[in-house]
Structure 1
Amino acid sequence: MRIHHLVLCLVSPLLSSCTGSSANQTTGTPFVNVPYTVVSQGIQQSIKNQQLHVVTDATQLAALTATAAFIPALPALDLDVNNLVAIFLPPGTGCDALGIVNVSESADVVLVELEKTVPGDNMPCVALVPNHGPSVLATMPKSGKPVSFAFTIRKAG
């Protein structure tokens, strides 16, 4: 298994598991940071499985808002100049959280780096919150490039 991991690390600099958590993944690569604005972050109730969305127009936004319940409601979004990324995770503990660490792009792809925080071994927490999963939504300038997502998991406490 170590050999496969090494091969993946050599082949794909996009894998977050190939660098230390304190390393800047854009160092020595053609990636540059992209500005982004978090428009909603927290717990949502409607989506019960992991979903990754890139919303590029009003029709896609209407479909997303018909599926997911946002409290408070999403602010007005200018999808003529921005894309919206929406990340939903399945229900977990009452202490689970999700956040965007960085957004960067190369000539070929936009990379959204996310961190899921889970309770540590000695952290008291509600075992499961039914029908409530962490989510984060953010806008970023349109680029026309495909979007990839990379997750890391961090234990809190």
Structure 2
Amino acid sequence: MFDRTLELQSEVEAVFAGDECAENRKSASTLVKCLAQAAKKTLIDFKDSIVKESPKNTSTDGDVHPLTSYVGNYIKYLMDYQSSLKLIFQESSNGDGTKSGLVSEISGLIHAVETNLDVKAKQYKDHALGILFLMNNINYIVRSIRRSQGFSW
């Protein structure tokens, strides 16, 4: 929706040219900003839900946790919209070599799931099984990201 609205912005400017239509142009511009804010809030809320996900839902065999596969798939899905997300987060990016807003947000998602997995791994009575659980889950995340379109970042 953000992409299409942004694409239409130049047409809105052309169709609603003139002082009498300034409010229409302003509304279209505001809509693009609201959509960008909604996308940012969605990522923030998703990260919060990862952090708050109950540590009691741990597999007993050290296998990949459903949360891990969900987050991995979500990140792959986000990479389908990489160009839009880069536009949405462009105001967060710095020219000083620090991470862009999009990379920072995705890194935050990965960090949140890693933190959650650490807590889950500590619940295993068998320490080796907890380590295996962490290795399986982190390997899954790494492989998911490598297969996505976002590996270059």
- Confirm or deny a common fold (TM above 0.5): no
Larger radius of gyration: 2
More strand by share: 1
Class of the TM-score when normalised by the shorter of the 2 chains: under 0.3
Q: TM-score, normalised by structure 2?
A: 0.23
